[in-house]
Structures are given as structure tokens and as C-alpha cells.
């Protein structure tokens, strides 16, 4: 049985439109204009136990909303989801004991107390036996190298340290499914890398199913076996990163170095010139034309070195996301 099964999950938020200024505020008293935001539209996917999957999408794509529904915080407007066989929004105690949600932007630790106390509190709340708890915490603290910060008040920790403790606090009860919302947001390169290593380790050793959202490509590239691309609430791609490029990248990049400086005019017949710097140039050509263009270029120009590459994945994804916004429907004006 898959650890996570989602079918047709939809969430619509209805917000009252507020106009600015005094006149607008007065108007708001009498007529309420309601707008509908379709945050998640018919999402369908499933995760097997032990998978590490990334949810990639621009801001407002619906990643966090989906995560909130899967962790039971939000009720969906339509559709079903089952996590470890439970319906998340029923929020059964056993369900809550088996999962964890970590939000990069929001802290769940007690602000005024040392991190150690929050970890102890979670042990009580989740009912973790002391020995197991001690071993888990010790292991994780060592792995993340925060041993000397355990007795510092959370408010005095740096963002990176807070995030590390947040992760420990949310993993000490050994959840089977871990939801992460932007875990590396705002972190420096070293901390982010540490956390990625940590997550990889947790996933490998404990077979924790991990679903993480990010708009940081390093997270996705470094961690995820599989990527779910989401935009405007719709899932646009579901599969390994490599398949993403295959399916969506319509072009290839040809980087060539010649024995003499090149001129734009002699390159343009082959394809779009993306960069030109003396003898080095980068061309953009249609995927299916790449072999032919390579052969032609090699024949026509004094080339020393030539490589054919996929476009950077960031560009591919940016292109996918650069679609026209669907119109936002104004439901009705109410008096």
C-alpha cells in the first residue's frame, strides 16, 4: 500500500476582496465582493514507502496548501487523500504520531526555553520511550553538530541552528512520513547542505517517506529521486528529474570552442546564439536538430571542442512555469 495516496485533491479559498482607502473600506461594509482562489486543482499522485519526492513550483503554486492538506491542517474542498491509510484531516492521534510537518518559515519550538526543553516536551507529547528518545536525539544532534547549542534559548539561536533543532524535534518520534515545507529557506550554503545530507540519511536509514517542497533547485537536485512540478494548483509533471528535461526541454545547448574568434553572422545559421566570447560560443537549437547542427558546425567551422548539453534545468522549469495566469473568477457581489 502506498504511504501517500492522493486523488483529485482540490482546495478553493474564498476571500473577500478588500479595496484600499477610506472609500473602499466603507464600500466593504455594504457590498462584499468574494473572489475564489483555486489553490490546488485536482491533484493526483502517490508515494511509496521510503520515497523522497520533491514538490517544485513557484510561489503560490499550491505546494504548501497540498502539504497542509496531507498533514491534516486543512480540509480539502474536494477529492481524497490517504496517508498511511488515514484520512489526514480527521487528525486521529495515531496518524499525528506517525507523521511530521516541518515548515521552514515557521518555528514550532518554544521561543523562551532552551532547545533541550522543547525536545523533552515533544518526547512527552508523542510518548516516546526515554532510551529510544535519547539515542535518536543524540544521533541527530551529532549528525547536525548542534550539541553545544542545546541549552541556548531558541530565540537566541541562528536561523540555521533553529532549523536543525526544528528537524530533530519533529523527527524524534520517528515518523513514517515527513512533510517538509521549504526546509532550507534562508539558510547558508553549508547549513543547507548539512540538512540535505541529514535528510538523505534519515530517508535511507529509517525508510522515512519524505515529501518536500522547495523552490531551491539545489534541494531538488541534491535530494529528490522524483519531482512533482506544480503550478496554478495543477500538477504538471510527475517523474524523475531526467524525464522532466526529456519531456519539456525542447532545445539543446551546443557549446563550442573554435581555434579563432567567431563571428555572430557565421553562427546564426546554425541556431540562436546565446553567448559569444571570442572563440567560445553557446548555441541554442531544437532538440531534434541537434545532431544535424553538430555535424554541420563541425564541417563549417574550425572547432576545437564541442559539447551538446541539455539546457539548465532551471531554465526548463522557468519556461514551464511561464504560462499565462488563469483568470481569477469573481463569484458574486453581495449586498
Partner 1 sequence: MAIALSDALAYRGTFLLGAVFSLLPLATSLLLWIAIYRSGGQGLTIAGFDLNAMLSYYLVQYILGIVNTAEVEWDVTQQIRNGTLNTYLMRPLSYAMVRWDMMVAGIAVAAVLAVAPAALLFFAARPVLILPAAGWQWGAFLLAVVLGVHISFLMSLCLGWSAFWFLETSGFMQATFPFQMVLSGWLFPLELLPRAVWAVAGNLPWTYMTYFPLQIWLGRLDPAAVLRGFAFQAFWIAALFALAAFLWRRGIRRYEAVGG
Q: Which of the ranges 118-126, 141-149, 215-223, 229-237 carries the binding residues for partner 1, by CB under 8 A? A: 118-126
- What SS3 class is residue 60? coil
Is 97 among the residues that bind partner 1 (CB under 8 A)? Answer: yes
Closest CA to 85 of 207, 176, 212: 176
**Closest to 180 (Cα-Cα) out of 76, 52, 40, 81:** 52
The three cell numbers of residue 233 are: 494548483
Query: What's the alpha-carbon Rg for the chain, to the nearest Å?
Result: 25
Task: Using the minimum distance from each CB to partner 1, give the nearer residue, 43 or 101.
Answer: 101
Binding of residue 71 to partner 1 (CB under 8 A): yes
| Ordered DSSP codes for 164-224 | HHHHHHHHTT--SEEEEESTTTT--HHHHHHHHHHHHHHHHHH--EEEEEES-HHHHHHH-
Rule CB under 8 A: choose which of 23, 29, 105, 299 binds partner 1. 105
123 lines the binding site for partner 1 (CB under 8 A): no
Is 113 one of the binding residues for partner 1 (CB under 8 A)?
yes
Binding residues for partner 1, rule CB under 8 A, total 28
Mark the segment that binds partner 1 (CB under 8 A) among 96-104, 140-148, 218-226, 271-279: 96-104
Among 49, 117, 139, 310, binds partner 1 (CB under 8 A): 117
Q: Compute the C-alpha angle 116/117/123, nearest 5°.
A: 95
Residue 121 cell numbers, joined: 516536551
Stretch 244-283: interaction string toward partner 1, x if CB under 8 A = ----------------------------------------
b/e map 142-169, b = 16+ CB within 10 Å: eebebeebeebebeebeebbbbbbbbbb
Question: Which of 83, 103, 178, 316 lies at the binding interface for partner 1 (CB under 8 A)?
Answer: 103
- Is 64 among the residues that bind partner 1 (CB under 8 A)? yes
Is 66 near partner 1 (CB under 8 A)? no
* Residue range at the interface with partner 1 (CB under 8 A); choices 79-87, 104-112, 299-307, 323-331: 104-112
Contacting partner 1 within 138-197 (CB under 8 A):
181
For position 108 contacting partner 1 by CB under 8 A, the verdict is: yes
Element (H, E) at 172: none
Q: CB within 8 A of 270, min separation 6: which ones? A: 254, 283, 285, 293, 296, 297
Least Å distance, CB 67 to partner 1, is 9
**Is residue 74 a contact point for partner 1 (CB under 8 A)?**
yes
Distance CA 124, CA 135 (A): 15
Tell me which stretch binds partner 1 (CB under 8 A): 69-77, 129-137, 203-211, 227-235: 69-77
**Is the distance from CB of 220 to CB of 229 less than 8 angstroms?**
no
Pairing of strands 52-56, 209-214: parallel
44 touches partner 1 (CB under 8 A):
no
Q: Look at residue 35 and give its three-state secondary structure.
A: strand
Contact status: 6 vs partner 1 (CB under 8 A)? no
Stretch that binds partner 1, among 40-48, 63-71, 78-86, 306-314 (CB under 8 A): 63-71
Do the Cβ atoms of 14 and 39 come closer than 8 Å? no
Note the residues at the interface with partner 1 (CB under 8 A).
13, 64, 68, 71-75, 91, 93-94, 96-97, 100-101, 103-106, 108, 110, 112-113, 117, 121, 125-126, 181
Amino acid at each position: 500500500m502506498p504511504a501517500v495516496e492522493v486523488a483529485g485533491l482540490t482546495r478553493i479559498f474564498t476571500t473577500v476582496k478588500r479595496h484600499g482607502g477610506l472609500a473602499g473600506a466603507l464600500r466593504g461594509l455594504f457590498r462584499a465582493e468574494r473572489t475564489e482562489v483555486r489553490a490546488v486543482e485536482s491533484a493526483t499522485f502517490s508515494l511509496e514507502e521510503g520515497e523522497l519526492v520533491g514538490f517544485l513550483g513557484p510561489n503560490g503554486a499550491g505546494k504548501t496548501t497540498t502539504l497542509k492538506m496531507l498533514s491534516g491542517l486543512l480540509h480539502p474542498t474536494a477529492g481524497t487523500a490517504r496517508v498511511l491509510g488515514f484520512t489526514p484531516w480527521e487528525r486521529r492521534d495515531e496518524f499525528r504520531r506517525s507523521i511530521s510537518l516541518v515548515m521552514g518559515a515557521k518555528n514550532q519550538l518554544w521561543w523562551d526555553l532552551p532547545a533541550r526543553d522543547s525536545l523533552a516536551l515533544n518526547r512527552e507529547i508523542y510518548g516516546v520511550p526515554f532510551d529510544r528518545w535519547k539515542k535518536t536525539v543524540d544521533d541527530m544532534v551529532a549528525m547536525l553538530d548542534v550539541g553545544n547549542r542545546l541549552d541556548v534559548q531558541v530565540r537566541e539561536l541562528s536561523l540555521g541552528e533553529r532549523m536543525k533543532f526544528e528537524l530533530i524535534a519533529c523527527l524524534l518520534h520517528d515518523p513514517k512520513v515527513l512533510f517538509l515545507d521549504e526546509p532550507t529557506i534562508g539558510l547558508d550554503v553549508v547549513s543547507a547542505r548539512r540538512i540535505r545530507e541529514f535528510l538523505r540519511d534519515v530517508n535511507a536509514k529509517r525508510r522515512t517517506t519524505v515529501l518536500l517542497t522547495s523552490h531551491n533547485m539545489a534541494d531538488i537536485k541534491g535530494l529528490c529521486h522524483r519531482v512533482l512540478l506544480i503550478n496554478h494548483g495543477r500538477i504538471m509533471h510527475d517523474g524523475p528529474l531526467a524525464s522532466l528535461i526529456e519531456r519539456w526541454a525542447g532545445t539543446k545547448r551546443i557549446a563550442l570552442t573554435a581555434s579563432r574568434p567567431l563571428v555572430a553572422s557565421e553562427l546564426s545559421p546554425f541556431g540562436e546564439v546565446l553567448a559569444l566570447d571570442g572563440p567560445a560560443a553557446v548555441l541554442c537549437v531544437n532538440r531534434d536538430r541537434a545532431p544535424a547542427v553538430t555535424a554541420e558546425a563541425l564541417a563549417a567551422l574550425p572547432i576545437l571542442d564541442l559539447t551538446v548539453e541539455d539546457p539548465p534545468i532551471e531554465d526548463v522549469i522557468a519556461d514551464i512555469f511561464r504560462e499565462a495566469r488563469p483568470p481569477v473568477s469573481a463569484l458574486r457581489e453581495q449586498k
